[in-house]
C-alpha cells in the first residue's frame, strides 16, 4: 500500500502520479473530490471511499485485496494521510498482516503552518483537534500548558475565536499564528498574541477553509524581584537557620544557592537562628 496526499495539482510529486497510475485500487476520503483529480492525472483504477464513518467496514475489504496482491493507494483530499485521519488504522492493520507500506510525502498542513508561523520549530507537538466542548477543551489545554514546545492544532472556523480565547486563558497570552488554506490558492497566515487573534476573529467572523493554529512554547518565567527574594528569606529566617532558609528559598525560586545564602546572611536578624 502507498499513502500520499493529492493536495493541489502543483504540489503532487511525480512518484505519487506514477503510484496512482499503477494502483489497482484507490482509497480516498471523498470519491467526488479525488475522482476528477486522479482521472486528470491518467489514473484509471476504481475508487473506494475510506473515512472515519466507514473505516471499520472498508478496512477488511482493502486488506483482502492487498493480501491477494493488489496495489492500493490511500490518498487524502488535503494534507498528509494519517495526520488526524483514519489512515493510521489501515497502516497498523497492514503492518500486522505483513503487508508492505510506503509513503510518498506531499503537502502537510501542520508542518507548513509551523514553518510559516515564525515560532520555534526545534521542538513541537501536534495535538490535532481540541474537544468541541469548552470544559473538555480547558482540561486538555491545562494538560498541554507545561509542554515546553510549540503547539500545533487543527481547528474549525466556527470554534476558532472561542478556542483562541480559551488558549489565552489556559496557556497564557503566548505568540501564535492562525494559518488557513495552506498550499492552496487563498493561503493566509495571521500572526499575533492569542488574545489579539481571538479578538480579531471574534470581530471579523469565522474564516473560510481549513485552519491550523500554532502556539509558541511557554513564556520564560520572570526572575523574582529583589523585594520578593527578601520577603521570602525573612519568612524562612523566622523559623530556620540561615543555611536551611537559603537552601529552601533557592529551590523554591530556582536561584543559585550561593547568591541566596549571601543575601540571607545580610538579612539575618541579630538574634535568632544561625
Is 261 part of any domain? yes
Give the C-alpha separation, 198 to 162, whole Å: 7
Q: In total, how many domains does the chain have?
A: 3
> How does DSSP assign 143-205, residue by residue?
HHTT--SEEEEEE-GGGHHHHHHHHHHHH-S-EEEEEESTTSTT-EEEEEEHHHHHHHHHHH-
Query: And the C-alpha cell for 132?
Result: 468541541
pLDDT over 70 (residue 229) = yes
Looking at residue 5, its pLDDT comes to 65
- Mark out the alpha helices in the chain (DSSP H runs): 14-22, 31-40, 55-67, 87-96, 109-117, 134-144, 160-171, 194-204, 226-237, 242-253, 257-267
Domain span at 247: 226-267
- Whether residues 181 and 146 share a domain: the answer is yes
Is 235 part of any domain? yes
pLDDT over 50 (residue 273) = no
- Whether residues 136 and 209 share a domain: the answer is yes
Looking at residue 168, its pLDDT comes to 96
Q: What is the pLDDT of residues 157-196, one digit of tens each?
A: 999 999 999 999 999 999 999 999 987 888 999 999 999 9
Is 188 part of any domain? yes
- Whether residues 66 and 114 share a domain: the answer is no
Q: What is the pLDDT of residues 68-105, one digit of tens each?
A: 999 999 988 766 666 656 788 899 999 999 999 998 87
Is 138 part of any domain? yes
Last residue of a domain, one of 67, 83, 103: 103
Is 221 part of any domain? no
Is 220 part of any domain? no
Amino acid at each position: 500500500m502507498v499513502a500520499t496526499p493529492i493536495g493541489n495539482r502543483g504540489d503532487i510529486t511525480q512518484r505519487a502520479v506514477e503510484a496512482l497510475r499503477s494502483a489497482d485500487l484507490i482509497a480516498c476520503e471523498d470519491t467526488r473530490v479525488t475522482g476528477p483529480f486522479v482521472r486528470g492525472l491518467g489514473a484509471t483504477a476504481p475508487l473506494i471511499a475510506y473515512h472515519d464513518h466507514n473505516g471499520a467496514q472498508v478496512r477488511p475489504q482493502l486488506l483482502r485485496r492487498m493480501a491477494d496482491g493488489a496495489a492500493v493507494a490511500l490518498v487524502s483530499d488535503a494534507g498528509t494521510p494519517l495526520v488526524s485521519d483514519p489512515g493510521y488504522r489501515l497502516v497498523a492493520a497492514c503492518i500486522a498482516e505483513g503487508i508492505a507500506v510506503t509513503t510518498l510525502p506531499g503537502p502537510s498542513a501542520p508542518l507548513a503552518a509551523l514553518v510559516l508561523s515564525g515560532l520555534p520549530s526545534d521542538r513541537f507537538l501536534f495535538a490535532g483537534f481540541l474537544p468541541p466542548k469548552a470544559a473538555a477543551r480547558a482540561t486538555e489545554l491545562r494538560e498541554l500548558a507545561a509542554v515546553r514546545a510549540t503547539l500545533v492544532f487543527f481547528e474549525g472556523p466556527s470554534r476558532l475565536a472561542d478556542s483562541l480565547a480559551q488558549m489565552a486563558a489556559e496557556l497564557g497570552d503566548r505568540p501564535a499564528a492562525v494559518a488557513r488554506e495552506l498550499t492552496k490558492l487563498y493561503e493566509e497566515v495571521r500572526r499575533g498574541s492569542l488574545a489579539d487573534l481571538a479578538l480579531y476573529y471574534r470581530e471579523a467572523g469565522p474564516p473560510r477553509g481549513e485552519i491550523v493554529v500554532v502556539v509558541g512554547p511557554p513564556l520564560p518565567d520572570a526572575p523574582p524581584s529583589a523585594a520578593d527574594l527578601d520577603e521570602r528569606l525573612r519568612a524562612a529566617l523566622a523559623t530556620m537557620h540561615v543555611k536551611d532558609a537559603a537552601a529552601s528559598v533557592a529551590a523554591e525560586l530556582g536561584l543559585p544557592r550561593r547568591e541566596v545564602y549571601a543575601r540571607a546572611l545580610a538579612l539575618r536578624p541579630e538574634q535568632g537562628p544561625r
